[in-house]
């Protein structure tokens, strides 16, 4: 069984959905501390005719906790309307705008003040639209204690997963021996970043999944083609 454990990102890029497609189980890692500074938990890139812009969620830091699932929005700001207006303005000329817009409206219409709940709902809406059959869970529901590599490995064990697939950010902190002592193989994503027709010039892979859907429609699933590589093989080729 393959498992992915990932913090719930805001309208993430295609690469996250490639991870989902490779996993039998996907765990939203929602009960860990929000990364310091700017992160993809609360913002994502979008292409516009002039430049790369950011869709950013305003966080109510005064009333939020430290964990991702304790972060709440500044709902007094009309950020949802502003985001949708930006999405409509920049994607209206895309071939599959009519496929993308109902998805965006469903995502932004989700009634919650919680950032984690918003992100998780958005990810699962898109995954379902793409036809991905992965089972989703939240780490906060699993009640597995610990931190770092040991906790990640224990979550893998909870599902009897023998393969842990992760993004390249984990290169900076994973303790492979913890996983291997538990019989779990660590694999890194080998992102292909397959090009597709985008508006506004040079191809950029790291924009929101909504960009993919607006430009490719149901053909978006054909772009999900990346595989994972065993960590020793990945580091050998670095």
How far apart CA 191 and CA 8 sit, in angstroms, is: 19
Reported confidence tier of residue 50, pLDDT bands at 50, 70, 90: confident
Report pLDDT digits (tens) over 145-167: 999 999 999 999 999 999 999 99
pLDDT, average across residues 59-63 = 93
Reported confidence tier of residue 87, pLDDT bands at 50, 70, 90: very high
Residue with tokens 């023998």: 162
Give residue 237's pLDDT. Answer: 66
DSSP secondary-structure letter at 222?
Answer: G
Q: Which residues contact 234 (CB under 8 A, 6 or more apart)?
A: 187, 188, 190
């Amino acid at each position: 069984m393959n498992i992915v454990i990932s913090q719930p990102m805001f309208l993430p890029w295609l690469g996250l959905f490639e991870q989902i497609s490779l996993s039998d189980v996907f765990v939203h890692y929602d009960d860990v501390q929000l990364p310091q500074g700017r992160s993809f938990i609360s913002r994502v890139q979008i292409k516009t005719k002039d430049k790369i812009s950011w869709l950013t969620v305003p966080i109510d830091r005064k009333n939020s906790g430290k964990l991702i699932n304790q972060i709440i929005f500044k709902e007094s700001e009309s950020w949802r309307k502003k985001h949708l207006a930006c999405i409509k303005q920049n994607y209206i000329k895309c071939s599959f705008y009519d496929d993308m817009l109902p998805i965006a409206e469903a995502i932004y219409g989700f009634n919650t003040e919680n950032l984690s709940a918003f992100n998780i709902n958005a990810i699962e809406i898109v995954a379902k639209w793409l036809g991905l059959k992965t089972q989703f869970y939240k780490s906060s529901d699993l009640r597995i204690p610990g931190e770092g590599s040991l906790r990640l490995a224990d979550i893998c064990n909870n599902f009897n997963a023998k393969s842990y697939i992760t993004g390249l950010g984990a290169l900076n902190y994973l303790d492979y021996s913890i996983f291997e002592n538990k019989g779990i193989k660590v694999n890194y994503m080998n992102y292909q970043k397959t090009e597709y027709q985008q508006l506004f010039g040079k191809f950029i892979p790291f924009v929101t999944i909504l960009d993919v859907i607006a430009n490719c429609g149901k053909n978006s699933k054909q772009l999900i083609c990346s595989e994972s590589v065993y960590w020793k093989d990945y580091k050998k080729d670095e």
